Structure 1
Amino acid sequence: MSGFGIGLVTVSVPMYISEMTHKDKKGGYGVLHQLFITFGIFVAVLLGMALGAEPLADVDTALTIFEKIWWRVMLGLPAFVSILGIILLIFFFKEETPYFLFEQGRIEESKAILRKLNGTDNVDEPLAALKEAMEQNEAAKKNSLSLFKALTIPSYRYVILLGCILSAFQQLSGINVLVANSNELYKEIVGKETMTKISVIMAAINFIMTFPSIYVVEKIGRKTLLLLGCAGIIIAYLPTAVLKTLWKNEYIDYISIAATFLMIISFAMSYGPVLWIYLHEMFPSEIKDSAASLASLINWLCAICVVFPSDYIIKISPTILFYVFAIFTILAFLFIMFFIKETKGNEIGTSPYITLEERQKH
């Protein structure tokens, strides 16, 4: 049930942000989605730390009163946050997006939201963009342009494939392996207690380093930020893997910990937030919802495919993982450089990959 809810949020929140934001500010506000995800991870790590170290397997230790209460707090807090979210959405933040209102024929309500978002009474231009996007969507519905039908059309299939590959490469960078297995990776180097503290610092950095993207993504664009992030991840992984192969000493071990921090910084500033912005800007309106959902599904499937085998590979040699993730990130860099187009400043519902004539044709 939790996974079902998270799956909906993964798609609906970036979609809502993209439809509720001025075209010149979509990137900055889109980053907030990832920013608060990393904040949630950081809070979760801190909540877990309060329990302290787990009891030894061969010791039958009774739970303290604090432990009996605290594990219930840890499960209860997400439930409270969800209930609070429902209350806020029903009673306080009731506005639908201008795109949805226009689609429902509620033109005046759509105009009112556009005036609020644009800070002006003259909303002819964004309204015309909404009308054009909606007309394309309506034409697609009349012609039964479902996701499966779109996959049979070369131009649509191409952009859907690009979105899925881009989404897959985010997980193939190994971010979730580092988050899930950081203790296992480095506990022999610095000891278990110290590694737990380092894991908390990693979660904090993952949160803090998402902030710069809010300002950078609209200045340099999505593609450039993705390329810079991939370059940082490669620099973190590849030299460390080579050094660990050629020499084995404590200094190299500490370099590998530093490399992990560099990887998290690079990811938090680029691929982490930018993917979710890009998925809602690259597809034309007639397939945007279903195509973005498919790309999100691919993202979660790749997370499973990466995290589970890594549990076993770490026990053999963590260096293998560094090589694997470095190779995937190099492929991601080349893929972004040669196949991905910039979407900064695009009107809602348009796509740099499919011309208006091509869309009208189908």
Structure 2
Amino acid sequence: MSIWEYRPQTIALIPDALIFLSSGMNLALGLGYSYYQVSNHFRFAWFIGVIAGVLLSAPLIQISIKRYFVLLSSFVVVVSGIVYTVCPHDEVALLAARYLNGIGTGLITVPFIMHCSEISIISRRGGHLGIEQFSIAIGIFIQATYTGFWSGGITISANRVHGICCLTFGLIALGLAYIVIESPVFFVRLVNDAQALDCLTRLQLPTVLTDEKKALLEEHKNYVMMNEYLGKNESFTRGLGPLARMILYRAAVAFTFSYFYNEQLMLGSVWGITSGNQWPWTIYAALRILGVFTAVTMLDLIGRKIPSLIGLLVMGGLGIGIAVLFAHRDNWQNGYQMSMACALLMIFQFFAGLYAPTSTLYLGEAFPMLLKPYFIALCISVECAVHIIVICTYHMNLHVFAYDTFTYAYLFACFLLFLFTIPDTKLTTLNEAQERFRAWNHWRSW
């Protein structure tokens, strides 16, 4: 079975990937990678926009095709890019651009996870859903790199460059919306088997009707039938257990790339490595890309659980070292101690990248179909709420040890919890994955 048979599934996700590139840049912009001094409102505005976007998209995804979400999200990202470009120094305009880009991100996130989990063949689902975090990591890298090497002598505004990038990504995504192939599950729910079969035909090469595609249609019909048979009440009951675990699971992603760790990297790079161009920022972001790429290539080969547990365990261990180095104020101006802190933070990002894609993958597999978009939206909202709380409460001079301690303790607690309660869903259908998440004991599920 050739990988090229399924390239239409990957190509159909390119517009989403471009939007997530813009998301990664805005995520980094709000978490410390800004050339200019910004307010806390500027930092958390994007996250409020994301929450608004996911809450808006959750009910709409069940009645509207995916292409409309790509068009709307791309348009909003384009508008935000224009505002950044035209008004790079206007604080009110920049706040509006932050909110708009967040809304654009939120509008595409839930549809992407729903759509991708439904169109992907079971042997490619992990890699496809990992595209979200991979694109976000590249966006973080772009923002961290140009910000770190920016010079005050450059006449163009750094915010304008940010806007041009967002505008470019949004325009390309808008232009490529036509390549989106709709989910066959969407049309099965509308009892339109002909349209569902047409989608399946175009999702796998050669684009001709085969017995394999007819069998896939029956599989999708069985998935829809079983979930609609449950109804919303039973779906809600069955989804509570997976929801509780996935809220904790996705919230951990907020601690893997956080405002306080980024602030510590900046302090460490100034005192421990260099007071000039901030090349450690680039390495920091590049290692996250490497971690995500490693995970994406592994998820469909060795499974989801092992990479996620390794990521959590190593991040927790590194977090102890980071907390110890920053616990004593004298270390902050010690070049050797701060260089060690930078090294730990960089390694931390590799394992953060190893963990992050599994969260998106599990969101696409854990929940009953009828309430799946609402549960996904809630998990994403909690992740954003964690970022907002940290931004509003964290102060480097007062809370550094407390936040570091809480972070590694939380990551260790998640490791112990998920070691027993998170299943591995490699090579399972959505029905099978959903059933695995119903159980709580998965000690032997590897």
TM-score tier after normalising by the smaller chain length: 0.7 to 0.9
> 1:167 is paired with a residue of what secondary structure?
helix
Distance between the aligned counterparts of 1:50 and 1:239, measured in 2? 28
- Residue 220 of structure 1 is matched in structure 2 by 302
Coordinate RMSD, CA, aligned: 2.7
Amino acid at match of 2:346: F
Specify which of 39, 43, 67 is matched with residue 156 of structure 2.
67
Partners in 1 of 2:430 and 2:305 — Cα distance? 18
TM-score by length of 2: 0.67
Higher RCO by CA contacts (8 Å cutoff, separation 6 or greater): 1
Deviation at residue 172 of structure 1 after TM alignment:
3.6
Whether 1:110 and 2:192 are equivalent positions in the alignment is no
| Equivalent residues, number | 331
2-structure distance, mates of 1:347, 1:109: 21
1:285 paired residue number? 369
Q: Answer with 168-177 or 97-106: which moved more.
A: 168-177
- 247, 251, 260: which one aligns with 1:177: 260
Structure 2 unmatched runs, 5+ = 1-99, 440-446
**Aligned residue number for residue 442 of structure 2:** none
Closer, same or farther in 2 for the Cα pair 1:347/1:186, shift >3 Å? same
Is residue 131 of structure 1 aligned with residue 221 of structure 2?
yes
Alignment check: 8 A CA contact 2:271 2:335 kept: no
- Supply the AA of the counterpart residue of 2:119: M
- Preserved CA contact (<8 Å) 1:173 1:329: no
Secondary structure in 2 matching 1:111: helix
CA deviation map 1:191-211 (0-9, x unaligned): 4325x2211221222223321
| Equivalent residue runs for 1:114-193 within 5 Å | 114-119=200-205, 121=210, 122-139=212-229, 143=231, 145=232, 151=236, 153=237, 155-173=238-256, 175-179=258-262, 182-193=265-276
2:407 aligned with 1:325: yes
Report deviation, 1:180. 5.7
TM-score by length of 1: 0.81
Shift of 1:219: 2.0
Aligned 1:282-361 pairs, distance under 5 A: 282-310=366-394, 312=395, 314-316=396-398, 318-350=400-432, 351=434, 352-354=436-438
CA contact (8 A) 1:51 1:67 kept: no
Residue 182 of structure 2 is aligned to residue 96 of structure 1: yes
Name the SS for the 2:369 alignment partner.
coil
Does 1:21 find its partner at 2:120? yes
Contact 1:27 1:277 in 2 (8 A): yes
CA distance in 1, matches of 2:147, 2:360: 28
Identity across matched positions, percent = 18
- 1:252 offset after TM fit, Å? 3.0
CA distance in 1, matches of 2:179, 2:221: 24
Is the contact made by 2:318 and 2:348 (CA closer than 8 Å) also made in structure 1? yes
Q: 1:205 pairs with 261, 264, 287, which one?
A: 287
SS of residue matched to 1:353: helix
C-alpha displacement at 1:176, in angstroms?
Answer: 4.6
Choose 1 or 2 for highest CA Rg. 1
